[in-house]
Amino acid sequence: MRGLVFFLLLAPAVMAAAGELVANRAAAPHAFDHGPEEAALVAALAKVQDSRVDEAIADLEQVVRLNPTFRLAQLVYADLLLAKARPITDFGSMPSAPLQQIMALREEAKARLRHYREPLPPDRIPAALVKLGASQRHAIVVNLGTSRLYLFENRDGVPRLVGDFYATIGKNGTRKDVEGDQKTPVGVYFITGFIEPDKLPDLYGAGAFPINYPNVWDQRHGRTGFGIWLHGTPSSTYSRPPRDSDGCVILSNRDLGILKAAIDPQGTPVILAEDVEWLPRAEWLARQADYENVLEEWRRDWESRNTERYLSHYSPEYSGLGMDYAQWVEHKRRVNGSKRYIRVDIRDKSIFLYPGVDGLMVITFEQDYESDNFHRRFVKRQYWRREDDGNWRIIYEGSVG
């Protein structure tokens, strides 16, 4: 079975864990399984390692019969059958198959097996998900480096992992910069809607969730392009290679259907990160308190009507609400000085660390402002940056929607 050395060298520690997962789904750390196709593929490889090749072939035969569009399973199944007849020396020993396609399937195999080889420690939370707002039922974190999308549910303010899925990203990797570069952006984004499949070409499968790329930070840095979506696969394709999109994040149609039930098409946060830092819950809670305190000090200083102390929370590189820093300072000194009282109430706040940028966070909340002669309630979004002196300051704020 030399043709399967690729798999067994790739993930020798994967197979026992995979076998346990398949045998006991109840022990899985979240509500949604990894999909019967992926679980069956990994379980079959575990059986190969145990020299139970005939059982593995039987399992894969059922997978490809039920889902003939799962090309990776088709190729592994063909390799196993071929290995019974003659020695094979490499993954995908099919002379008629294009080399590029074989290489793409090899990368998909690596990505899927890596997920089982490196299971998440229990009770860990992504550092980027500092705080979910009360209205945010779910959040999405995509580890672009490992081709994995994680779905979290808001459980009384604590993100709880409820699903993870194999995902495809841009052909040229990450950090989208210009239109047409076929890269997936890195940053904090939000779902802005849903496009039904009957309004799209078959390429997009079961539908598409656009995100708000380019966001404020992207625009500030001159990034261009549009149409970055979470979407499905063509009807003839179960999954695509890890790097195969023009910049979108692609899921199987089955997995997109699961996400559709959880996503709010007007606001679910989507964190696109090249790598994900996972924190123990106690450390996550401590960090959350620190970040919330940054916002609370800004709120209190605004209410105090001490304009200079309030303005100390703004960076000299600030821009927002149609003003640069000098204009903002002049405006606030004039307006705040005329007030007899100011009350600022903040509700439904969310806080996310911006991946790929050290010391940047995005805070969104409903602001209820009241003074002796003015009252306004609206949703505000702020970008805070930790500056050279170690203090967090606002570099942008504006209304949402």
Q: In what order do the strands lie in the sheet with 342-353?
A: 129-131, 342-353, 360-371, 375-386, 392-399
Same domain, yes or no: 244 and 324: no
Same domain, 160 and 266: yes
Query: Which CATH number do you get for residue 352?
Result: 3.10.450.50
Q: Which amino acid is at 189?
A: Y
The verdict on 220 and 141 lying in the same domain is: yes
Cα separation of 276 and 253, whole Å? Answer: 25
Structure tokens at 12: 């020798």
The gap from C-alpha 118 to its chain's centroid, in whole angstroms, comes to 18
Distance CA 170, CA 191 (A): 18
CA torsion angle for 106, 109, 113, 114 (degrees, to 10)? 50
3-class SS of residue 76:
helix
Q: Based on the domain organization, do 295 and 250 belong to the same domain?
A: no
> Which CATH number does the domain housing residue 181 bear?
2.40.440.10
177 and 223 Cβ atoms separated by less than 8 Å: yes
Same domain? For 158 and 265 the reply is: yes
Looking at the structure, do residues 112 and 130 belong to the same domain, yes or no? Answer: no
The reported pLDDT for the residue numbered 102 is 83
Structure token digits, residue 316: 């000299």
**From the CB of residue 37, how many other CB atoms can be counted at a distance below 10 Å?**
22
Q: What is the pLDDT of residue 39?
A: 81
β-partners of residue 169 are 243
169 and 266 co-located in one domain: yes
Domain count, the chain: 3
pLDDT score at 88:
57
Residues 102 and 143 both lie in one domain: no
Last residue of a domain, one of 278, 311, 342: 278
> Which of these three, 228, 263, 278, is where a domain ends?
278
Show the CA angle centred on residue 174, arms to residues 33 and 103, nearest 5°. 70
**Would you state the pLDDT for residue 96?**
60
83, 227: one domain? no
Residue 284 half-sphere exposure toward CB, CA atoms < 13 A: 22
**Contact assessment for residue 353 and residue 130, using Cβ atoms and an 8 Å cutoff:** yes
Bridge pairing between strands 319-320 and 278-280: unpaired
Among 69, 98, 117, the domain boundary falls at 117
Per-residue pLDDT of the chain in tens (401 residues, 90 and over written 9): 444 434 443 444 444 444 444 444 333 445 555 567 888 888 887 787 777 888 989 989 988 998 899 999 988 888 888 777 766 555 555 556 677 888 888 899 889 888 887 888 888 999 999 999 999 999 999 999 999 999 999 999 899 999 999 999 999 999 999 999 999 999 999 999 999 999 999 999 999 999 999 999 999 999 999 999 999 999 999 999 999 999 999 999 999 999 999 999 989 999 999 999 999 999 999 999 999 999 999 999 999 999 999 999 999 999 998 999 999 999 999 999 899 999 999 999 999 999 999 999 999 999 999 999 999 999 999 999 999 999 999 999 999 97
Cβ atoms of residues 207 and 195 within 8 Å: yes
Together in a domain, 313 and 339: yes
Same domain, 332 and 315: yes
Residue 277's CB is within 10 A of a number of other CB atoms, namely 12
pLDDT for res 97: 61
Q: Which domain holds residue 82?
A: 2-117
363, 387: one domain:
yes
In this prediction the pTM is 0.90
Assess contact for 368 and 347: CB atoms under 8 A. yes
